[in-house]
Structure 1
């Protein structure tokens, strides 16, 4: 998620600033802090005096920081220089590149989600893919910043990605032409039958108001009143917690939206409805929320809130399962920690960490010929090494439900194409709303 400010930033900054660059200074810090630091400083001294090549302090300190954060969870990291600048650029929503959200997984670059309309999506890159080579060069084992730097480049330039896709026997190459990625957080369309389709592609600034404006536009386009709304959060990797709260608040008139719980009781924050928007802006309108394995973090907050309050029916595939909050903690002018500081919980007290949001109706993406095989081998938060454990203890059988065949969904991608259906999940949601027009969707 994009990151809220925190008062603990000052304390962490002070603690890190105490670390001097000399061995004598380290010894003084070690004496004041704890005996556990003795091993760290002893290792530092041995490397400085005995390693085959001379190593500067910057490399050793950076390695120690990276090692500490790697021992925590997959979403905590140290950012400086270009990495921090890249994060700020992503927040601004304008950069040149492929348009994908990626993370490292056991040394491999995994695609969390391609952004809608991005060069990567148009070239066929999909959530869950692994990028093994860039222009024929193996990138396994690189730092995530190094891999991303190779994927960035001027708009109009081409790059060849070698993709391993779970469910396929062999890897394949994809050529992607880089573009200017101007992320469009919210897009919408009116579908036959006066059904609105609002796609939320990421949770950047003003998403709540953008969705409200999109809903007004759809109501203006409709011949009469809207009969239903599909809120599409598929392939949405998340973003701002505040915007997830704002979007949820659009459709809720009372009750809790989400709670955030850190290590200590005083770190608990509860977000209530009626704090951003008054009333339900779509009162009486049936809503279906679409999610899939690429729906993470802020997307799961919205889906969980609307599901728990019985305000929407959730369809699609089980979501990614990232139920943690990251906070950006400044260290210096050009460095910061992206640190996991809390878990979040849905209004009913569910943690989506590991288990994700289970749809009320599981609807596979039958129009994608690789969907079934990829779904069976899909990697989610629960599969990441070092992930936070769900305190409630998610049972294995609960995580396996979405791998079972459903006799209702047996059409092939070719058969759907003959019927003119290119997005089965959306088509199924629209047909459901047409059948239930005039009623409020509920679980």
Structure 2
């Protein structure tokens, strides 16, 4: 069974056995054995002489995780429990607080609170740093340990200590855990005839939810004049769902391709006839929190000139992580490929540039560092199209992959601004207001052209 995932605190990756690599040379074997002997010597010395007793399993797991995390920001090791938790997340239901997080500078940084969860209701914001959980400093925890501590039985409480830019003192919040049922698609009508569709992440039923929501809005309106697809702060998720959602808005053509280390590893995912809106104009909203699977959708619709992309530059996570089970003890998330939009461009460390740049409205200019993007992460992969770097060889062989055949998913969530995209357009949601104005203008122009 293959499972691919794309997302920066929490999903693109694939579950499969990797193809065998070229056999090492004799000198290469000697160097490898020498390095392994070094590891064994250090491991044994720690076991014998460290000031306190150590757990062998934890030492090995931490060593493996260190090896993987040194490769790039999205490769890591999951023990058996973390692997099980990841599978639970994919189903879209778990007990916890509803936070998307990423490790940054030894702390846990909030990527985005999930809509209508304890974290969102408590006012936690994207960019907040979690510095302590129940009084225990985060600096002493791994990301997996912090996530495990935040999860728990519904109805139980946890004290979270936050550091927020502009706040001189830490913020203490007591949250009550709940069952987090992540509805990945929400929708409503804007201005009576525009379907607003918000995708918060790409789970197992996202495409089905999108289609059902659209049908309900169409029946409610009687006649629709346009669609807003809101992908702001969407950290990613299952690749097959990103392909299926793109397919809902495309009649034909390539949606995305993935290219690995070897030329024969290329895979192409194509659209099929049956576009659900019957050609209605579409505006896609993106921002710095739009990452991975959501960037695939935005890039596909942009390259096919099927939608106008509006907002600010997306996160820029253009790599694919493969989830590989190991020895029945867990799994490793390993970066195995880059993905490319239909025009052949890599968005790795670059992101999707909107067709129309619209910054979110702010009452006053707030100083401070800009939001992080993929290119800002330590060890981030370079973009193969960067002329300053050697470009990856273009593969000659291809495999045609129809949408929905492989269960693929993205990497961990990405940083982004917190917006309330589930509510109707408000005075402070400037980007959505501009999207609605654009669709209204297109509708007026089309009606006059027909007349």
Aligned counterparts of 2:335 and 2:249: Cα–Cα separation in 1: 29
> Who is 1:61 aligned against?
60
Q: Structure 1's 357 and 219: CA in aligned 2 closer, same or farther, altered over 3 A?
A: same
> Which structure 1 segments of 5+ residues have no match?
16-29, 396-412, 414-418
1:373 to 366, 369, 391: 366
> Who is 2:79 aligned against?
80
1:63 Cα offset (Å): 2.9
Aligned counterparts of 1:283 and 1:344: Cα–Cα separation in 2: 28
Aligned counterparts of 1:288 and 1:298: Cα–Cα separation in 2: 17
> Who is 1:300 aligned against?
295
Assess if the C-alpha contact under 8 Å between 1:285 and 1:438 holds in 2: no
> Who is 2:308 aligned against?
313
Assess if the C-alpha contact under 8 Å between 2:232 and 2:285 holds in 1: yes
Q: Structure 2 matches for 1:14-53, cutoff 5 A?
A: 34-48=33-47, 50-53=49-52
Q: Structure 1's 124 and 56: CA in aligned 2 closer, same or farther, altered over 3 A?
A: closer
Assess if the C-alpha contact under 8 Å between 1:130 and 1:163 holds in 2: yes
1:434 Cα offset (Å): 1.2
Taking only aligned residues, the RMSD between alpha carbons, in angstroms, comes to 2.9
1:236 to 228, 234, 237: 234
Is 1:102 equivalent to 2:108 in the alignment?
no
Superposed CA offset, 1:145-201 (max 9, x none):
211122123333443333333465654344433221001011110112400001111
Is 1:424 equivalent to 2:433 in the alignment?
no
Aligned counterparts of 2:271 and 2:68: Cα–Cα separation in 1: 35
| Higher RCO (CA < 8 A, seq sep 6+) | 2
> Who is 2:224 aligned against?
226
Assess if the C-alpha contact under 8 Å between 1:320 and 1:380 holds in 2: yes
1:429 Cα offset (Å): 1.2
Assess if the C-alpha contact under 8 Å between 1:240 and 1:298 holds in 2: yes
Aligned counterparts of 1:171 and 1:37: Cα–Cα separation in 2: 44
Assess if the C-alpha contact under 8 Å between 2:81 and 2:330 holds in 1: no
> Who is 1:435 aligned against?
441
1:87 Cα offset (Å): 0.8
Aligned counterparts of 2:221 and 2:104: Cα–Cα separation in 1: 45
Q: Structure 1's 125 and 290: CA in aligned 2 closer, same or farther, altered over 3 A?
A: same
Is 1:359 equivalent to 2:351 in the alignment?
no
Instruction: Report the secondary structure of 1:290's partner residue.
Output: strand
1:272 Cα offset (Å): 1.5
1:126 Cα offset (Å): 2.3
Q: Structure 2 matches for 1:331-342, cutoff 5 A?
A: 331-342=326-337
Q: Structure 1's 155 and 53: CA in aligned 2 closer, same or farther, altered over 3 A?
A: closer
Is 1:288 equivalent to 2:283 in the alignment?
yes
Aligned counterparts of 2:157 and 2:172: Cα–Cα separation in 1: 13
> Who is 2:383 aligned against?
390
Assess if the C-alpha contact under 8 Å between 1:286 and 1:438 holds in 2: no
> Who is 1:349 aligned against?
344
Query: Whose helix fraction is larger, Structure 1's or Structure 2's?
Result: 1
Assess if the C-alpha contact under 8 Å between 1:73 and 1:387 holds in 2: yes
Superposed CA offset, 1:200-234 (max 9, x none):
111011222221222211111114x2111000111
> Which structure 2 segments of 5+ residues have no match?
1-5, 24-28, 389-418, 420-424, 447-451
Aligned counterparts of 1:439 and 1:259: Cα–Cα separation in 2: 35
> Who is 2:263 aligned against?
265
Give the structure-1-normalised TM-score.
0.81
Q: Pick which of 245-254 and 61-70 moved more.
A: 61-70
Aligned counterparts of 1:301 and 1:46: Cα–Cα separation in 2: 47
Superposed CA offset, 1:231-261 (max 9, x none):
0111211100111011111111222111111
Aligned counterparts of 2:55 and 2:442: Cα–Cα separation in 1: 67
Aligned counterparts of 1:217 and 1:190: Cα–Cα separation in 2: 10
Q: Pick which of 317-326 and 120-129 moved more.
A: 120-129
Q: Structure 1's 366 and 272: CA in aligned 2 closer, same or farther, altered over 3 A?
A: same
Q: Structure 1's 134 and 7: CA in aligned 2 closer, same or farther, altered over 3 A?
A: closer
